[in-house]
Every structure is written in C-alpha cells, then in structure tokens.
Structure 1
Amino acid sequence: MSTVDTTKDKIREAYDNLTKSEQQVADYFLENTEISDFSSKHISLLLYVSEATLSRFAKKCGFKGYREFVYMYELDFKDYFTEKEEKEISDITRSVRKNYKDIMVKAFDLIDEDQMRRIATKLSNTEYTVPVYGMGSSGYVAREFQLRFMRLGLDVIAITDSQMIAMNASLVKRGSLVLAFSISGTTKVVIDGIKKAKQNGARVILFTASKDKKLAELCDEIVEVAYLKELEKGTKISPQISLLILIDVLYSYYFANDSFFKAEKYKRTLSALEIEKNSLL
C-alpha cells in the first residue's frame, strides 16, 4: 500500500460513522490531491463547518485532534521516498527518521495555542531585557532564541554560563520576564537561577519535559516540551529539536502580535547585517 493513502484509508474506515457535516469534511480530504492551507480557520470557512466539527472529525478518524490529523495528512504527501529508495534506507537511518516523525507529532500535539499567545503578549509588553537561561544543548537553543527574536526588535540576551546565570538571576528587576530551557528539568544551575529570579519578583517561564510538580512553584508558566526516551542525552536525535519547534511556533505568534512594527524591526536588523557584510568585502 502506498504511504500516500495511509491517512485517507483512516478517513474511509471512519466514514460511515461520521455525521453529514463530518462527511463533508471527509469528502474534501479524500478528493484533495495537493497540499494547501489546511488550517482549521481556513477549512471551516471553505466548507461552512465549525472548527469543533473538524476536531470531532479528526478524533473519529483515530487522531488526537485536528492538528495531528493535518500533520499526518501533509506528511503523507511529503513522503519523497519511492518504494525502491525505501528498501535502500538502512535500519539506522529509518530509526532516525521515525524518531523525528514521532517527536514532531508529539510536539505539535502538546502545543497550547492560548499559552503561546499569552507568552507572545508578555514578550511584546515587557519593559526590561529578557534573559534566556540554558546550559549544554539547551544553551544552543537559548542563543537561537536570542538571534531570532532580536531580529524582530526584542531586547533579549541568552545566558549560557553558570556564573552569569547566577548573577543575572540575583539582579533581575521585579516584573521582568525570564525564560529558561531545561528538557530534563534537573539542570541545577538553571533551576537555581529561576528560583532566585522568582524570589526577586521576576515572571518566570520554564520550557521542560519534566513532570516534577515542584517546578510549578518556581514558575509562572511551564511550557511542556515533547520528549522521547534518551532524547536529552542526544543518543538518537538532537535533544534540542523539540525546543526549536516550540520556538518557531512562539516566534510566529510573537510576529503576529503587531506584525507591521516587527516587520519594520526585522528590515532594520537585516539592513544592519547587510551593511556589516558589505564592509567586510
């Protein structure tokens, strides 16, 4: 069976149990032959159905929600491997690909849209420099966060040195916003840092896969990060992948919040980089 038919087969299997409105959605996805805008907002307007109908349709087809359905539906179309190429892929490569697929599905399923909007608003409204704590692979993510968001005008600094985290946490102003990355939730330097920052009146947001309820006492918000066994050790795929997915989603929400202003900031920072590049020629 072709992998392109996998998601459509699930729709066909569930078809008889769907309501008329849900069957209308099913017909659209069964007849569709190309990748398009499958967002719930767009499809609900296109088919004159509610977003709740899309959610029920997806669940009846065996998915956790409409977001996961769309991801798998698009993935079927994006499977570039021919039957011959599939046979030539080693078990090791296939295992890595499966891990990427699994972590992406889980990452998007965990995303809390309201939380992303809320954090994006906090970033847009903060009056102080936003420190981002991270050590090891999470430190790389902190630096990526700084690079991406600085281009949109956010006053942000990645702090990836243990002593610098300790000093910054002791000096943050009341009401300031502090972000921290720790997949395991056990990075002592980072946890001690957010604890101190919270004591000083900062608003703390921790990105972690840890289920430790004690962490909630140290933060204003915890963003749940997708996790696979041994992920934080990097034995299968890069441990920062799930964090980078969240950053991309948050970046999009942040940009959408006053997109004209942020687009202008982006042009200015991009222009500054071009000037520097030309000066080196």
Structure 2
Amino acid sequence: MEHFEKSIIPVIESVYPSFTPLERTVADFFIHNTDESDLSARHVSELLYVSEASLSRFAKKCGYTGYREFVYRYQEGLNAALPGTDDHIKQVLNTYQELLNKSYSLADRAQIDRICHILASKRRVYVYGLGSSGLSAQEMKLRFMLAGVDIEAITDIHIMKMNAVLLDESCAAIGITVSGRTPEVLRALGAAKEKGASTILFTSRSSSDYDAFCDEVLLLAVKEHLKNGGAISPQFPILVMIDVLYSHFLTTDSERKEALYEYAVTKLHET
C-alpha cells in the first residue's frame, strides 16, 4: 500500500448500526461504490429508488449539513491526497502496512502447525518477556487462556530464573525478544531446554546460535529502530504473529475451544 487517503467511509460504517433499512441501502451504495461517477442527488435517488429528502437525512445522520457537503467530502476522500502537514500519518500507516506485508512473507504454515501442536499438547506453557515484549507475553496469556491453554506470562527477571524448577518434558517455554539479544529471556529458554521442555523463540533476528536451545524460532517482521519504540510500537509485529497463531489454534478441535471461550466470556460478565 503506497499511500492512504482520507475517507468518510469509516464514518458511514461507524453510524451504520443506527441507520434505517432505507438508509442502509444508501450507505451500502457509498461504501461499495467503484463505478458510479454521477453522485448528484437526483441521479442517486433515481438509482437507489429513494427520495432526495432521504439522502439529505442520511447525510445529516453522518454528521454533515446536507447531501451536498456529504458528496463533496466523499469525493474529496476518493480523489485528494493528504495535505503535507499530515505526512506523518501516512508514514506511520505505511510502516504498519510494510510490517504486515513482511509478516505475511515470514509466516510459515508448517511451522505454525508445529507451534500450535506444542501449545495444544503440553500440560503447561510459560511465556517470557521483558518491557514491551512482556506486555505481549501477557496478551498471549489472555488470548490462549480463553482457548483452554494452561499458560502463564513471566515478566520478572527473578521469576524467570526460578521458573526452571517447575519445568519438565510436559511443559513448553516461549521467549519473546524482538532484538533477539535479551539475555534474561535467552537464558530462561536455555534453562527450559535443559529441563526437557519444548522451547520457542519469537524474534526478528535469525541466528544459528538459537539452534542449541530452541525447537522453533518464529521470525517477526522488523523495521529499523522498531525495537527502540519509535513511532511504531515494537509490540505490533509480535501481536500480529500471536493473532496468526491464535486464529490457527482455534481451527483445531474448534467446537471444544469455542465452548471454552463462551464459558470464559460468560463468567467474565457474571455479576
């Protein structure tokens, strides 16, 4: 994706649940329109079999003074580039798109199958991470716990060291470090491997050094200075891969996992 343009389509979509059936007909036209260039009130009303007054009410519900302003903003979003003062918005969003494209290129279906098998077959899973990687570890815990995985996130250096006493062949240990150089996380994985646990590393760095203590190395998309937390959160590529794993994990034994998820959500909403 080379650039982004301002669009009022997200505005339409945000109001969509409050539309009447007739207004949804109008909304669907503007959301999906790719061919119609004549957007005059008269032409659109004839095309959709609605009155011009209905178009005006629709535009006002979207937050505009009337249909004329709505169409002006709609066409502006389709045809005009973002002003120069908003270039940073494009840069950030293009970086996200770049990271998504890279994540797609790095994703290995066979590896994802193997990792999901480990997550499904082990008695307990521990996820190690510090800083922003620790926040991602906690997010992974919350996601996979809902699907029935006995999983714990460990984000304290001392607990990482002590955790080795709990590990054996029935466990899995996951280390998250975008740089691939966080010594505490790497040492924790090494200790887990010594105890016979299955070990998985999430990192942007590919190195044969990991072969000695990692069963799987899941590569993360990266951009220069990303690990330093500049404009883009270093969590983003981690969370993308966690979502990919989670989505695939749910496809196996889906009925049981959906039941567990529904049970957990019900419990969360109990008063």
**Preserved CA contact (<8 Å) 1:184 1:208:** yes
Give the distance between the partners of 2:208 and 2:260, measured in 1 at CA: 39
**Counterpart check, 1:104 vs 2:100:** yes
**Preserved CA contact (<8 Å) 1:198 1:219:** yes
Over the aligned positions, Cα root-mean-square deviation in angstroms equals: 2.2
Change (3 A) 1:81 1:152: farther
TM-superposed CA distance for 1:260, in Å, is 0.2
Matches within 5 A, 1:194-205: 194-205=189-200
Given the alignment, which residue of 151, 154, 163 partners 1:159? 154
Equivalent position of 1:185 in the other structure: 180
Equivalent position of 1:145 in the other structure: 140
Cα shift readout 1:13-62 (whole Å, capped 9, x = no counterpart): xxxxxxxxxxxxxxxxxxxx89xxxxxxxxxxxxxxxxxxxxxxxxxxxx
TM-superposed CA distance for 1:171, in Å, is 2.8
Which structure would you say has the larger Rg? 2
Residue identity in the other structure for 1:135: L
Residue identity in the other structure for 1:271: T
Give the distance between the partners of 1:206 and 1:261, measured in 2 at CA: 28
**Preserved CA contact (<8 Å) 1:169 1:194:** no
Equivalent position of 2:20 in the other structure: none
Give the distance between the partners of 2:187 and 2:266, measured in 1 at CA: 39
Give the distance between the partners of 1:212 and 1:125, measured in 2 at CA: 27
Give the distance between the partners of 1:163 and 1:88, measured in 2 at CA: 49
**Counterpart check, 1:115 vs 2:111:** yes
Equivalent position of 1:263 in the other structure: 258
**Preserved CA contact (<8 Å) 2:180 2:203:** yes
Q: Number of residue pairs matched?
A: 202
**Preserved CA contact (<8 Å) 1:124 1:257:** no
Give the distance between the partners of 1:262 and 1:219, measured in 2 at CA: 28
Change (3 A) 1:188 1:89: same
For residue 153 of structure 2, give the secondary structure of its aligned residue in structure 1.
Answer: strand
Comparing 145-154 and 91-100, the one that deviates more:
91-100
Change (3 A) 1:81 1:229: farther
Give the structure-1-normalised TM-score: 0.68
Residue identity in the other structure for 2:252: N
Give the distance between the partners of 2:183 and 2:205, measured in 1 at CA: 13
Given the alignment, which residue of 230, 233, 257 partners 2:228? 233
Equivalent position of 1:136 in the other structure: 131
TM-superposed CA distance for 1:117, in Å, is 1.3
Given the alignment, which residue of 154, 166, 169 partners 2:164? 169
**Counterpart check, 1:221 vs 2:216:** yes
Residue identity in the other structure for 1:99: T
Cα shift readout 1:154-192 (whole Å, capped 9, x = no counterpart): 110111111111111243112411111111111111011
Equivalent position of 1:93 in the other structure: 89
TM-superposed CA distance for 1:88, in Å, is 5.7
**Preserved CA contact (<8 Å) 1:182 1:207:** yes
Give the distance between the partners of 1:184 and 1:197, measured in 2 at CA: 20
**Counterpart check, 1:124 vs 2:123:** no
Give the structure-2-normalised TM-score: 0.70
Matches within 5 A, 1:44-63: none
Change (3 A) 1:109 1:274: same
Q: Give the ranges of 4+ consecutive aligned residues of structure 1 lying more than 6 Å apart after TM superposition.
A: none
Matched residues, percent identical?
34
Note the residue ranges of structure 2 that are not aligned, 5 or more in a row.
5-31, 34-75
For residue 199 of structure 2, give the secondary structure of its aligned residue in structure 1.
Answer: strand
Comparing 197-206 and 170-179, the one that deviates more:
170-179
Cα shift readout 1:124-174 (whole Å, capped 9, x = no counterpart): 111x22111111100010000000111111110111111111111243112
Equivalent position of 2:67 in the other structure: none
Given the alignment, which residue of 221, 246, 249 partners 1:254? 249
Equivalent position of 2:240 in the other structure: 245
